[in-house]
Amino acid sequence: MTYTMKTYLIVGYTEPGAFYCPDCFAGPTKETGAVFAGDEFDSYPVCDCCGERCEDVALTLEGWEAEQRRLDNEDAEYEG
């Protein structure tokens, strides 16, 4: 079975300079933006409140390359 996130699902919220997961989001303001599962980022956003990393978004090509480098570095540290 393949898990597919629906692109219309809200997976977080933004305020100027901040990202919040749905659990930590206090409520909308005039500057609130919704983050949808299909939105692309250069890196996975991290909640400014709880620190949870949101992996339900898509990554750009640069984001995938950066994530691969991060995972390679983790593997090298683990093996070393």
- Enter the pTM of the model: 0.79
- Of 80, 47, 58, 51, which is closest to residue 6 (Cα–Cα)? 58
Over residues 3-57, the pLDDT tens digits come to 566 778 999 999 999 999 999 999 999 999 999 998 999 999 999 999 999 999 9
Q: Where are the beta strands (DSSP E) in 1-80?
A: 10-15, 18-20, 33-36, 40-41, 58-59
Give the pLDDT of residue 46.
97
pLDDT beyond 80 at 79: no
What is the largest distance, in Å, between two alpha-carbon atoms of the chain? 49
